[in-house]
Structure 1
C-alpha cells in the first residue's frame, strides 16, 4: 500500500472485520479514459487519462470467468466502452453464459465510433447501469459538466428505442443517483418513484430501477471536501450513521475488483486507494487467484468503508436495506 495515503484511509481499527463469501462477480475496470470529467468521480477518470486494459489481460479475465464460478461480469471505467476490446470481452463473456453489466455514462452513446453501441448492447443482452445523479438538468450539469443532462436524455431515449427499460423486453436499464454534496442519499424507493414520474412526464424516458450510492470521500470528491474544510464533518456523518445490519450485504463479500493491469482488490474503492486484496503486503494479480477459492478470506477495510454501511447502506447495486 502506498505510504502517501491520507491517514484516514489507512487500514481501520474501528470498522468491523469482515470476510469473503462465495465469489459471484468480477468487477473489471477497463481503463480510466472517459469522455467526461465528473465532480464526484472516485476514479479521477477523464479524456486525458491513458490507462487502458490490454488484450492479454482481457483474455485473463475471460479465463477467470471460465474457472472461478463467477456468474456476473461488471464492467467499469472511465467509460468502459472506450476500451478497444470492450465488445470482444462482452461477446465472449456472453458466450460463456455470464451476465454482463455495462456501467455507462450515457453520453458515450453519442461519441464518434459509438453510433451502433446501443444496438450492440441490446443484441448481447447486456444490463445497462447508467449514471444520472439527478432528474433535474441544472443539478446534473453542475456535477458532470454543461450539456451532460441533455446528452444523457438522448442516450436514454436511444436505449428505450431498443427496448431497454420497457416492460417485457428483458433488457434492463437501471439508473444511479449520487448526492450533490457531503450528505447521505435519501431513501431509495421514494426517490425512484420521483425519478420515474419526472423523466416519463417531461422526457418520455423509462427505466427499471434506481440505485442510490453515497459519494466516497476519496480522490476528486475527497479533495473538494478538504478544500472546503468538510472532510472530517463528512467522515463523522458516515461513522455515526453506520449500521451493523448492512455488513451482510456489502458488495465486497461477493465481488473482486480488477484494475486495468489485472491486479485485484476487495472493491473498486480499495482499488483506487491501492489497498491490497485482504490487506496483505504487496499486490495480488488475477493470475495468482486462478483456481483458488477466496471464500472465508479477510477483507481489507478502512474508514471509507463507512460510506457503504451508513444509513440505508450503499453498494454498486444501490441501497442495502
Structure 2
C-alpha cells in the first residue's frame, strides 16, 4: 500500500489547541467482517489487532476519573472485540453515553444474532455506515451483498425501536462519498435518505452524517495509484473554511488505539502521528488518569483540510 504520510506532512495547516476532554474515541481493533474501499483504518477479516482487557479496564478508569461524557467505539467492527459487551455495560453503569460505530452487516453474522438486542438493552447510540441508499453504490464501495445485509440489519434495529420517535434509541446513518469529491449538503441528503429508505423499505432513522473521505490509508493509496492525490488535496484546500476550526472534533476528543496510545484524532492514529509529548514516547491512556491535556497543540498535517473543507467534517457529520 502506498504511503501518503510524507505528502500530507508537507502541507501547512493552521495551528489549533485542545480544549477540555469530552469524548473518548476508542478503536477496539482492526478486525472487521468487511474491507471497504473508503476505510481509513484498512480494517478487514484478516486483521488480528484487538484491544486487550487490561487496556479496556484502564479506559473505564479514565471515564470515571475524568468524568468523560461520551465513549465512542470504533474499529474495524468494534463488536468483534471479545470484550466489547463488557466495556459497553461497564461504561453505561458509569452513566457514560456509548456510541457504537456499527457497519450494520455485523448484526447478521453468525454468533452476533443477539447483538441488536444487547445494544437496545444498554441504550447504545448506533451510528451505522450506509454510504448510499442504492444497492449498486453500496456494493461497489463495500462488497457484493453488503447492501442487502445492511437493509436487513436496519430493519432489525427498527423492530427494536432504534430510529423510532420517542423510543430513546438513536440510530444515525453515515454517508461517505464514493470517490474523490466532497459530500453534498448534509441536510438535503438526509431528506433524500429518509424519503428513499422509507418508500423502499419502511426504514426510519434519526440523523444522517456526511463525512469527507480522508486522503490516507486505503483511500489515499487509491488516489495516488490513479494519479488523483494532488487534485483531491487541492480540492480540500480550495474549499477550506476557517470557521470550521472552531468545531473540529480534535478539540474535545481523544483517539485511543487498540494498544492504548493516544492521538488527536482517528486519522492521526492511522498516520502514526501521536499526541505531542515533547519528543518522548506516545502518551498512553494510563496518562489521562493524572494529566489534563487542555491547551496542548494539536498535531496537524494536510489531511486536516478534509475536516475543514466546505461544510466541514467530523465523526458527528458536517460542522456547518
TM-score bin (small chain): over 0.9
Quote the Cα distance in structure 2 between the aligned partners of 1:154 and 1:311: 33
Match status 1:315 vs 2:314: yes
Alpha-carbon RMSD across the aligned residues, in angstroms, is 1.0
Quote the Cα distance in structure 2 between the aligned partners of 1:185 and 1:279: 34
Question: Quick check: 1:279–1:300 contact (8 Å CA) kept in 2?
Answer: no
Q: Gapped runs of 5+ residues in structure 2?
A: none
1:278 partner SS: coil
Quote the Cα distance in structure 2 between the aligned partners of 1:320 and 1:199: 24
Tell me the equivalent position of 2:75.
77
Q: CA deviation at 1:48?
A: 0.2
Match status 1:142 vs 2:140: yes
Tell me the equivalent position of 2:36.
38
Q: CA deviation at 1:6?
A: 3.1
Tell me the equivalent position of 1:104.
102
Return the match for 1:58 from 56, 59, 84: 56
Tell me the equivalent position of 1:92.
90
Tell me the equivalent position of 1:160.
158
Quote the Cα distance in structure 1 between the aligned partners of 2:245 and 2:166: 34
For residues 77-108 of structure 1, the C-alpha deviation after alignment (integer angstroms, 9 at most, x for no partner) is: 00000000000000000000000000000000
Quote the Cα distance in structure 2 between the aligned partners of 1:177 and 1:87: 26
1:211 partner SS: strand
Quote the Cα distance in structure 2 between the aligned partners of 1:187 and 1:151: 27
Tell me the equivalent position of 1:188.
186
Quote the Cα distance in structure 2 between the aligned partners of 1:226 and 1:298: 30
Change in CA separation of 1:316 and 1:148 when aligned onto 2, cut-off 3 Å: same
Match status 1:292 vs 2:300: no
Within 5 Å, give how 1:259-278 maps onto structure 2. 259-278=257-276
Q: CA deviation at 1:113?
A: 1.1
Q: How many residue pairs are counted as aligned between the two chains?
A: 317
Question: Quick check: 1:118–1:158 contact (8 Å CA) kept in 2?
Answer: yes
Quote the Cα distance in structure 1 between the aligned partners of 2:288 and 2:4: 26
Q: CA deviation at 1:283?
A: 1.2
Question: Quick check: 1:11–1:301 contact (8 Å CA) kept in 2?
Answer: no
Quote the Cα distance in structure 2 between the aligned partners of 1:15 and 1:205: 41
Tell me the equivalent position of 1:301.
300
Tell me the equivalent position of 2:229.
231
Quote the Cα distance in structure 1 between the aligned partners of 2:315 and 2:250: 10
Question: Quick check: 1:68–1:291 contact (8 Å CA) kept in 2?
Answer: no
Within 5 Å, give how 1:126-141 maps onto structure 2. 126-141=124-139
Quote the Cα distance in structure 2 between the aligned partners of 1:49 and 1:250: 30
For residues 170-224 of structure 1, the C-alpha deviation after alignment (integer angstroms, 9 at most, x for no partner) is: 1000000000101000000000000000001001110000000000011110111
Quote the Cα distance in structure 2 between the aligned partners of 1:260 and 1:292: 20
For residues 16-63 of structure 1, the C-alpha deviation after alignment (integer angstroms, 9 at most, x for no partner) is: 100011100000000000000000000000000000000000000000
Q: CA deviation at 1:9?
A: 2.4
Within 5 Å, give how 1:239-250 maps onto structure 2. 239-250=237-248
Q: Gapped runs of 5+ residues in structure 1?
A: none
Quote the Cα distance in structure 2 between the aligned partners of 1:9 and 1:184: 18
Quote the Cα distance in structure 2 between the aligned partners of 1:288 and 1:166: 40
Tell me the equivalent position of 1:283.
282
